[in-house]
């Protein structure tokens, strides 16, 4: 097995791959899709941070690639749709840099409040720049947190600790969950009108791009501040400059940008009311060590046992659940191939898990069955893209849990239809993997041997 590590992945994570017998190839960031495509030849997993974009072009011919790993949280530099279509799992490690990202946001609050960058620059220029650098205290100020996930919640907790009033906007957080904490929820419009400082902690998606538009920033209090240490593109950069020039906003601090690295001639660099840092949110030694080891363990477990954690295009599967379904996996692959021989152009698949199925997570089994059924025809199909491929080919997939096991502890019943035909396979792991009925006729053979 071979892993390509770009963007300065911490060696503690790479050591886990080496200990598992993997070949580890370390690379500087690869910006060019064609160059990345060449580098991915023969690679089973690729690890990136934010510097290497993983595009559809880059992975189009990556026939061995099974996992794209993001050492951190944001996956906006990875074409997840293209990876899913290719059957490639996309994993991230959002928990590893939570504290680092939250602390960086808090540090930007202090830098804005006390003009620390200007004071430092003036001192180093031989000045004693007290005039014009009177700041303000954070205690008692209102902080509006957009996004109350792991990082946003940590920022809120730390802001409360220094005496700030905190409220949040998060459309995905149930009010009951927010009520259990000490941070009240508001609508976005309410939050913008209420806050002295707004800090963003959401991923960049179609819905959140330019979330802070000119109109929304105008809805903020005159003299308000903006902090974005989440993802570039959440704030309309041109509108931000305009409102800073007009004086409606008093200042802003940005750690992330629409284009990274930020262009040398960007007008953001020259604005006196802006504090800029080069995407340092996760740049602590502790965070980089944590995300690299978390990601490595996730990938190794996924490859070795089928356990799924931190995957953005597959449902989670605990290690315990993976051990439970593991013995069924070879059988499902074999049954998919058998079903494809019986009905080469299927239009409907119904899978029944009969008998004692309460502890069985059937999602990976059904996905694997579909991948095996369709994969005999064409293309690269894996459990990652199996259901999407089925929908695209007009194959309806249905699943039933429970029912009579007909004397077996667990019985798998597969009905596949197409071209006017309907075939049924019944199989079990009792006394080894075996088909016990075909179209209702008792029969016994090992499908793995055929």
Let me know whether 54 and 180 are in one domain. Answer: no
CATH code, domain with 66 = 3.40.50.720
Let me know whether 120 and 208 are in one domain. Answer: yes
How far, in Å, CA of 257 to CA of 35, rounded?
24
Structure-token match 């504290």, residue found: 99
Number of other residues whose CB lies within 10 A of the CB of residue 100: 23
State yes or no: pLDDT of 409 exceeds 90: no
Let me know whether 204 and 114 are in one domain. Answer: yes
How far, in Å, CA of 103 to CA of 368, rounded?
42
Residue 179: predicted pLDDT: 56
State yes or no: pLDDT of 180 exceeds 70: no
pLDDT digits (tens, 9 = 90+) for 342-356: 999 999 999 999 988
Q: Look up 260 and say whether it is catalytic.
A: yes
393 HSE (CA, 13 A, CB side)? 24
Let me know whether 343 and 411 are in one domain. Answer: yes
CATH code, domain with 355 = 3.30.1330.90
Let me know whether 57 and 153 are in one domain. Answer: no
Let me know whether 299 and 340 are in one domain. Answer: no
Residue 212: predicted pLDDT: 98
Least confidently predicted of 45-54, 55-64, 330-339, 398-407: 398-407
pLDDT bin (cut points 50, 70, 90) of residue 175 is low
181 Cβ neighbours under 8 A, 6+ residues apart? 153
Compute the average pLDDT of residues 414-422.
Answer: 94
Residue 373: predicted pLDDT: 93
Q: List the catalytic residue out of 86, 104, 279, 415.
A: 279
Number of domains in the chain: 3
Which tokens belong to 289?
């060590």
Let me know whether 194 and 257 are in one domain. Answer: yes
Let me know whether 184 and 111 are in one domain. Answer: yes
Average pLDDT, the chain: 94
Look up residue 221 and give its DSSP letter.
P
Number of H helices, E strands in the chain: 16, 17
351 Cβ neighbours under 8 A, 6+ residues apart? 362, 365, 366, 369, 397, 398, 399, 400, 412, 413, 414
How far, in Å, CA of 66 to CA of 314, rounded?
13
Domain endpoint, select from 276, 305, 329: 276
Residue 406: predicted pLDDT: 82
Compute the average pLDDT of residues 426-438.
Answer: 92
Residue 302: which of 265, 277, 329 has the closest Cα?
329
For the entire predicted model, the pTM comes to 0.79
Residue 379: predicted pLDDT: 62
Let me know whether 90 and 116 are in one domain. Answer: no
State yes or no: pLDDT of 378 exceeds 70: no
Residue 191: predicted pLDDT: 98
Domain that holds residue 429: 321-449
268-274 contacts at long range (C-beta below 8 A, 24 or more positions apart):
268/237, 268/241, 271/241, 271/244, 272/118, 273/244, 273/249, 274/244
The CA-based angle 352-358-359, given to 5 degrees, is 110
Residue 250: which of 269, 274, 231 has the closest Cα?
274
Q: Look up 279 and say whether it is catalytic.
A: yes
Q: Look up 231 and say whether it is catalytic.
A: yes
pLDDT bin (cut points 50, 70, 90) of residue 39 is very high
The share of the chain scoring above pLDDT 90, in percent, equals 84
Let me know whether 143 and 267 are in one domain. Answer: yes
How far, in Å, CA of 301 to CA of 322, rounded?
10
Residue 296: which of 47, 1, 34, 38 has the closest Cα?
47
**For 235-272, b where at least 16 C-beta lie within 10 A, e where not — what string?**
bbbebbbebbeeebbbbbbbbbbbeeebeeebebeebe
Let me know whether 219 and 344 are in one domain. Answer: no
Q: List the catalytic residue out of 260, 286, 320, 444.
A: 260
Residue 33: predicted pLDDT: 97
pLDDT digits (tens, 9 = 90+) for 62-102: 999 999 999 998 898 999 999 999 999 999 998 899 999 99
Q: List the catalytic residue out of 66, 86, 204, 231.
A: 231
Let me know whether 355 and 391 are in one domain. Answer: yes
């Amino acid at each position: 097995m071979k892993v390509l590590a770009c963007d300065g992945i911490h060696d503690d994570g790479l050591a886990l791959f080496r200990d598992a017998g993997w070949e580890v190839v370390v690379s500087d960031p690869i910006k060019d899709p064609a160059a990345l495509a060449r580098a991915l030849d023969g690679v089973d997993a690729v690890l990136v941070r934010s510097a290497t974009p993983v595009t559809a072009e880059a992975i189009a011919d990556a026939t061995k690639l099974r996992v794209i790993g993001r050492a951190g949280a944001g996956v906006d530099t990875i074409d997840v749709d293209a990876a899913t279509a290719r059957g490639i799992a996309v994993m991230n490690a959002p928990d590893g840099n939570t504290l680092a990202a939250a602390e960086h946001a808090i540090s930007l609050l202090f830098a804005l409040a006390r003009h620390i960058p200007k004071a430092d620059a003036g001192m180093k220029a031989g000045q004693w720049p007290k005039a014009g650098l009177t700041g303000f205290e954070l205690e008692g100020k209102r902080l509006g947190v957009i996004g109350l996930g792991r990082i946003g919640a940590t920022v809120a907790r730390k802001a409360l600790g220094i005496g700030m009033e905190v409220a949040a906007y998060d459309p995905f957080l149930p009010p009951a969950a927010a009520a259990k904490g000490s941070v009240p929820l508001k609508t976005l419009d309410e939050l913008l009108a209420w806050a002295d400082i707004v800090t963003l902690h959401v991923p960049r998606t179609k819905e959140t791009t330019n979330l802070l538009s000119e109109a929304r920033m105008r809805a903020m209090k005159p003299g308000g501040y903006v902090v974005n240490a989440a993802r570039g593109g959440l704030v309309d950069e041109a509108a931000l400059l305009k409102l800073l020039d007009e004086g409606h906003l008093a200042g802003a601090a940005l750690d992330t940008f629409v284009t990274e690295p930020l262009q040398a001639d960007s007008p953001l660099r020259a604005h006196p009311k802006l504090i800029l840092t080069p995407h340092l949110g996760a740049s602590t030694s502790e965070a980089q060590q944590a995300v690299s080891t978390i990601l490595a363990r996730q990938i190794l477990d996924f490859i070795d046992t089928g356990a799924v954690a931190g995957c953005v295009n597959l449902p989670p599967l605990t290690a315990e659940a993976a051990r439970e379904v593991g013995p069924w996996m070879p059988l499902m692959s074999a049954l998919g191939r058998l079903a494809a021989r019986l009905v080469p152009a299927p239009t409907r698949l119904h899978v029944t898990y009969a008998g004692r199925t309460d502890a069985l997570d059937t999602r990976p089994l059904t996905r694997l069955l579909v991948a095996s059924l369709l994969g005999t025809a064409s293309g690269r199909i894996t459990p990652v893209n199996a259901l999407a491929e089925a929908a695209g080919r007009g194959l309806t997939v249905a699943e039933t849990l429970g029912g009579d096991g007909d004397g077996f502890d667990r019985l798998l019943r597969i009905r596949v239809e197409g071209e006017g035909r309907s075939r049924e396979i019944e199989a079990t792991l009792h006394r080894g993997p075996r088909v016990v009925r075909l179209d209702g006729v008792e029969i016994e053979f090992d499908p793995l041997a055929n």
